[in-house]
Structure 1
Amino acid sequence: MSDTIRSLKLSHVVLPLETPVSDAKVLTGRQKPLTETVLLFVEVTTEDGFEGMGFSYSKRAGGPAQFTHLREVAEVAIGQDPSDIDRIYQSLMWAGASVGRSGVATQAVAALDVALWDLKARRAGLPLAKLIGAYRDSCQVYNTSGGFLQASVEEIKEKATASLEMGIGGIKIKVGQPDWREDLRRVEAVREHLGDGPMMVDANQQWDRARARRMCRELEQHDLVWIEEPLDAWDAVGHADLSRVFDTPIATGEMLTSVPEHMALVDAGYRGIVQPDAPRIGGITPFLRFATLAAHAGLALAPHYAMEIHLHLAAAYPTEPWVEHFEWLNPLFDERIDIHDGRMWVPERAGLGFTLSDQMRALTKDTVTIG
């Protein structure tokens, strides 16, 4: 007989950041500085004793909603075969259909979906990348956490140097301030500091179409790997237009929370870099579905945040991707990812390759066990 899901443990975790950070959304008055990351963890156990762990997250708002939504619908997974991940995914989406198939609904289900993939790979004794089918054992890695706008140019330079010394290959900094001239000054200073090393910029959706075209034109001279989210995340046509006009690749997608939202970019003729986020798009199941379509469209990949998950998914993408380095989630896990020579290396451990730390337990604000 096949194995079945016996129980699910849901944990609501609040992880404070050592230093509050600000991107352009803060400087334009649309958001407050980011002070914490709120996570939804799922630990799944089967009747045969196999286990898996997955997580989703939110920033500034939505964490309690994710926890509450999954607590409402997770019961439908009990008794199902954990290998039937897509079937379970669909049953969870139907159980919560009244709130839609994007946003909080998909982000809540994502934590369980990731846990089921982790379980499947652990049971097979394989790293998740190997279970899916890896193209490579490591991926290019760039750092974002040192490039936020509350930091001075000198601080960004120091953090960039530290990142490069620890083996990270590329550096991304934030732009999109109300004073676009200050953006250009910061980019020029960091580009000079890095020499010809890989560099990216991220405007966090703060330009309109006219400003985005002007800024992309100004930034062409700096030989950037990409310009990220120059426009509103849901402006698929605008991003597609920019991607066809400029030599510097355009990148977007991190904010989108379903496969159809991502496919709007492809349908609009987008030629840039896609940045799906597994915890936001709904988990590994929809991530892989979109990744297949993106690869067919010839798009490059650079998944957003959550390197503990995305390293495996990037390693299974046909063309060479980038993985984003954030050390913020390190306290939640006992293990660390190997980074050297500008690359992030897939763990040889089974599943995602991570176990939950005592600190994660200490940061847990609420738990519920289902089943």
Structure 2
Amino acid sequence: MFDTDKRLIPAQPPKAGFAAGPATQDAIKTVKLSLAYLPLARPISDAKVLTGRQKPLTEVAFLFCEIETEAGFSGLGFSYSKRAGGRGLYAHACEIADNLIGEDPNDIARLWDKLCWAGASVGRSGIATQAIAAMDICLWDLKAKRAGLPLAKLLGAHRDGVACYNTSGGFLSSSIDEVKAAIDQSLASGIGGIKIKVGQPDPMIDLRRLDAVTEHLNGRVPLMVDANQQWDRVTALRFGRLVEPLNLEWIEEPLDAYDAEGHALLARELATPIATGEMLASADEHMALIRADAVDFIQPDAPRVGGITQFLKICAQADAKRMRLAPHFAMEIHLHLAAAYPHEPWVEHFDWLAPLFNEELEIRDGRMIVPARHGLGCSLTGKARDWTVETTTFGG
């Protein structure tokens, strides 16, 4: 029989939000969440559109988080969604954001766990982590501002500039002449690499476009291709062997994002490096790729995996395997994270987000330069406010 006089558990088990201790210097006063829709200048198509799986992209939904503290510090973070999910991100963020009120904004890892457990019923991936990401990134921005440092310097930068490549000019919705013109514009602006989209139902069309781009580039900068998950293993292997003489920097998303075994096969069989990871929505999902030696370039997206806290976990594991890093999209965030990665990375240049932020990132001699501004170094424009459709503030 059990001795009921002896307690087997503490009378008051630890809670997610402990009372502030003597090391606490500040507390979160308000959390403001906003949902905005950024319209694109023209509809965008990649292979997922040409294979009939998605519609052309016409806008990007953004979840913005702005936090203010009792001591007068503030931060800005964001997450995003393409084609669907924007309102879901906003709704889930609104359900859990009040858990931050009164907390020490410096305890970012603990606050990530607290937010995750507050919405545990929807899991630890997808909308759940992407909603947390906006708040997590905001807290890191705030922490760097409080320290008076650019985020890259707070994390411990290995470099003050990161090699950058352009993607936004190479979509399948652009004619080959438009792609060539975009390449010329990118190179004139100082871009250090070019990526074009492939993965159409007829691979021969991809090869013809790739031949035209290769001839136009004439080896001036590295070239990457991106199939957006639209090949099967046989097609990816055949295509990869055909293009090996081109010395591509990488083949991106040749297979379904969750096919770690298939990517590992390609990584073993092909001389061209393999890159993937952007569509995964948690650190654990990236671990499957890393454990399987499935990629040469890991491509996490901080807003998708749950923010900077989770991104850094991925980087630690990738570093142990000496993998290269090439974060997806959101260069305003990823420039800082790539600058802090031990092995020479790439960062992806997209001009789509320029209307959202007052500041511009400098590109020089093929590299994107870490700004001297504190935190992420970003502030929202009037247009970003105009495109906002919903706002909620917690605390006060």
The TM-score with structure 1 as length reference comes to: 0.99
* SS of corresponding position for 1:233: coil
Alpha-carbon displacement from aligned partner over 1:120-168 (angstroms, at most 9, x marks no partner): 0001110000000000000000000000001111110010010000000
Aligned equivalent of 2:20: none
Q: Give the AA of the match of 1:339.
A: I
Does residue 54 of the first structure (1) align with residue 77 of the second (2)?
yes
Could you tell me the percent identity over the aligned residues? Answer: 62
- Once residues 298 and 156 of structure 1 are traced to their aligned partners in structure 2, the CA distance between those partners, rounded to angstroms, is 33
AA aligned opposite 1:11: S
- Kindly tell me the number of residue pairs found equivalent between the two proteins: 371
Q: Matches of 1:29 and 1:177 in 2, distance apart?
A: 10
Measured in 2, the distance between the counterparts of 1:316 and 1:243 equals 26
Cα deviation per residue 1:94-141 (whole Å; 9 max; x = unaligned)? 000000000000000000000000000001110000000000000000
Give ranges in structure 2 of 5+ residues lacking alignment.
Answer: 1-23
2:205 to 166, 182, 191: 182
> Does 1:205 pair with 2:235?
no
Q: Which residue of 2 aligns with 1:360?
A: 384
Aligned to 1:95: 118
2-structure distance, mates of 1:223, 1:19:
32
Given residue 154 of structure 2, which amino acid in structure 1 is its aligned partner?
A: L
Matched, 1:217 2:241: yes
Shift of 1:17: 0.1
> What secondary structure does 2:279 align onto?
coil
Q: Aligned pair 1:79/2:119, yes or no? A: no
Deviation at 1:76, TM superposition (A): 0.8
Q: Secondary structure at the match of 2:134?
A: helix
For 1:241 and 1:110, the matched residues in 2 are separated by 32
Q: Distance in 2 between matches of 1:111 and 1:255?
A: 17
**1:301 equivalenced with 2:322 (yes/no):** no
One-letter identity of the residue aligned with 1:23? D
Distance in 2 (CA, whole Å) between partners of 1:219 and 1:54 is 40
148, 151, 167: which one pairs with 1:128?
151
Counterpart of 2:345, as a letter, is P
Aligned to 2:271: 247
Query: Quick one: distance in 2 between partners of 1:159 and 1:289?
Result: 35
- Flag as ranges the 4+ runs of structure 1 deviating above 2 A: none
**Offset at residue 271 of structure 1 (A):** 4.2
Q: Which residues of 2 match residues 271-286 of structure 1 at below 5 A?
A: 271-286=295-310
Q: Distance in 1 between matches of 2:292 and 2:164?
A: 29
Q: Greater CA radius of gyration, 1 or 2?
A: 2
Match of 1:161 among 166, 172, 184: 184
Match of 2:52 among 8, 12, 29: 29
Task: Give 1:322's aligned residue.
Answer: 346
Q: In the TM superposition, what whole-angstrom CA distance separates every residue of 1:273-294 from its partner, at most 9, and x where no partner exists?
A: 1000000010000000110110
Aligned to 2:252: 228
Aligned to 1:256: 280
- Residue 269 in structure 1 maps to residue 287 in structure 2: no
Distance across 1 between alignment mates of 2:133 and 2:192: 29
Unaligned runs of 5+ in 1: none
* Superposition deviation, residue 38 in structure 1: 0.4
Matched, 1:7 2:11: no
CA contact (8 A) 1:240 1:272 kept: no
Q: Does the 8 Å CA contact 2:276/2:295 hold for their aligned counterparts?
A: no
The two structures, once aligned, show a CA RMSD in angstroms of: 0.7
CA distance in 1, matches of 2:346, 2:247: 17
Q: Which residue of the partner structure matches residue 107 of structure 1?
A: 130
Q: 2 CA distance for matches of 1:240 and 1:179? A: 24
Query: AA paired with 1:165?
Result: A
8 Å contact kept, 2:275–2:295 = no
Report the residue type matching 1:243 in the other structure: A
SS in structure 2 at match of 1:134: coil
